[in-house]
Structure 1
């Protein structure tokens, strides 16, 4: 996760917590109002326990929803299949939510010396709870889909072409800035080296060893007085003596010594 993704995670996480708290407060107040209108006595503590345990249960199954949304998407599956699988997954996830929040509530009530009954006044409490869970599940799935989309966008890094490595060549009164990948081969010439560049030969006052160090691993020595750019090589022909001939992309042929033959294979 890069820095931008970490910042996004903090923003989304903070916003999500604020929304959860607001939803819990609204649900708790609405539940207490409904119970009062129905003439049912229930303590505020129990109502809040119901809300908190429900949220804790949803947060527990949230990783499964995250995995589901992350793996069920086009082009792996068509949109029709994705929607069908997401809807079908609501059943086991809702059951997991119900089971976990019931266990938590039973533990709380037992600590008080009481007993929690799962919607005992309803003829089909599981169906009743599933209808509520389905809406919450779709909200979680939608938020997770948006979060994953944002993470993917933030995680994309624009491809910035690397600046070409430049070799500064002083050829007489003229100074050249030569991209390294445009040099085909280099030959030693006394206190100078000759660099082949776009059909021209530039004379540069330097040793072959010094130039080889500047050019880097993209060049290989094929003779005690010659370097060649690996990417420019198109063919290598070995003689019976062990010496070899290197043919470059522009058709240039260069002789190589058997002493350096292994370097062409590296």
Structure 2
């Protein structure tokens, strides 16, 4: 085994996870969401315990709605935050500049989170037939939420940066698209490079071959035998000494008593086949 064969087997190289970038991103974001669920669960029971300790009425349903609406708002805000982190990060910006820009962005992000959270809570409370009153213990609900959102945004930026770094480093590279095979056909002064999988059939025409492609007929100076050799392995079969067809373009084969047959193509055209070559389409 060469050094090249051993490279990347210990997880140190890109693409060792075997997951696509999309799958790895989804997996990591799901982990973040599950972490958020664990965190709000702890917050719910802390809220209930604090309320009971203060001798205040407590509803577990209300507690879950309060924390759940906040989490839902952060899930929505994660979308613009994702693109922001992808663009505002080292080395595109220096570390001090990145921190300063994100510190400023924390304000609109927090306002967006608060607006969504209040909207979700208003809708939830409305379904219960009551009104939602946006208040806080210090009498300044926006500032109260903003102080909490600052640490949440800093944490979110770090986590999203880490997710993007992990995806860029460990996601499996996309499989290269197979090169499309083409056939060079000289039609007069024009040379067409036809995708082989779009050619329907080829027929002999004297010193030329007639290539059926997208409903057109192109004349090319060559023998049918030479074209058959060029199309080897591309799924073309001879149905007549003067005709080749692409198997995937065949829709129906009708055999006559004589053993000869008709081949109905995807375009609707019907071609005559010789019994000598019938087994080419039966195999």
Q: Same fold (TM over 0.5)?
A: yes
Match of 2:46 in 1: 30
Query: Deviation per CA, 1:73-125, whole angstroms, max 9, x where unpaired?
Result: 23332211110011111111111101111111111112212111111553211
Match of 1:145 in 2: 161
Sort the Cα spacing of 1:16 and 1:128 in 2 relative to 1 into closer, same or farther, 3 A: same
Match of 2:141 in 1: 125
Aligned match of 1:57 in 69, 73, 96? Answer: 73
Q: CA deviation at 1:6?
A: 3.8
What TM-score comes out, normalization by structure 2 length?
A: 0.52
Matches within 5 A, 1:243-254: none
| 8 Å contact from structure 2 (residues 24, 171) kept in 1 | no
RMSD: 2.4
Matched, 1:87 2:100: no
From the two aligned structures, give the one with the greater helix fraction.
1
| 8 Å contact from structure 1 (residues 109, 116) kept in 2 | yes
Matches within 5 A, 1:1-266: 3-119=19-135, 121-155=137-171
Structure 1 gaps, min length 5? 158-208, 214-266
What TM-score comes out, normalization by structure 1 length?
A: 0.55
- Higher RCO (Cα < 8 Å, 6 or more apart): 2
Sort the Cα spacing of 1:103 and 1:7 in 2 relative to 1 into closer, same or farther, 3 A: closer
| 8 Å contact from structure 1 (residues 4, 154) kept in 2 | no
| 8 Å contact from structure 2 (residues 21, 172) kept in 1 | no
Structure 2 gaps, min length 5? 1-14, 174-225, 231-283
- Structure 1 or 2, whichever has the larger Rg, is 1
